[in-house]
Amino acid sequence: MSIGPFFILLPMIKKLRTNKADVQQAHLQTFRSAVRLAKHAGHVLVMSGVLLVILSSWKFSSSWISATIIVLVGSLFFLARAFSPLLKKYGQGEDEEQLGRKLMKATWIYIVLLLLMLWFMVTKPVLW
């Protein structure tokens, strides 16, 4: 639930370039809802991860857990700063082509960050 909605949003970003304000607002609301869903799913992910570490033989000092936490903190700051300001600029006379490119770039960066965390959690690499 943290990463899936963003793959669905990729084609929607192209549809935001429409000139019809009501259609554009519907897409923007869907995008905002997906970001909100990803944030709350991230809370569940963090809480279940902490619980699993406590109940398992892993330690928080394990390199893959530490790396995941570092990427997680970075992705939280990125999520907070990347999407809301861009979404607020739609319909305010900004260049919507440029906004669309920025939104697409931000979405891909966030997907890569989430995939990196997923890779750490699945493969559990020894990094140091």
Contact call for residues 116 and 71 (beta carbons, < 8 A): yes
For residues 32 and 28, give the distance between their C-alpha atoms in angstroms, rounded to a whole number: 6
Give a yes or no: residue 44 inside a domain.
Answer: yes
Share of the chain above pLDDT 90, in %: 7
Give a yes or no: residue 50 inside a domain.
Answer: yes
Give a yes or no: residue 100 inside a domain.
Answer: yes
pTM: 0.80
- What integer pLDDT is reported at residue 55 of this predicted model? 93
Domain that holds residue 13: 4-123
- What integer pLDDT is reported at residue 83 of this predicted model? 80
For residues 119 and 125, give the distance between their C-alpha atoms in angstroms, rounded to a whole number: 9
Q: Interhelix angle for 96-123 vs 63-89, to 10°?
A: 160
Give a yes or no: residue 128 inside a domain.
Answer: no
Give a yes or no: residue 111 inside a domain.
Answer: yes
Contact call for residues 4 and 38 (beta carbons, < 8 A): no
Contact call for residues 37 and 5 (beta carbons, < 8 A): yes
Give a yes or no: residue 19 inside a domain.
Answer: yes
Give a yes or no: residue 86 inside a domain.
Answer: yes
Single-letter code of the amino acid located at 78: F
Q: With 80 as the cut, is the pLDDT of residue 17 above it?
A: no
Number of domains in the chain: 1
**Average pLDDT rounded to a whole number, residues 56-80:** 86
CA neighbor of 25 nearest in space, from 68, 78, 76, 88: 88
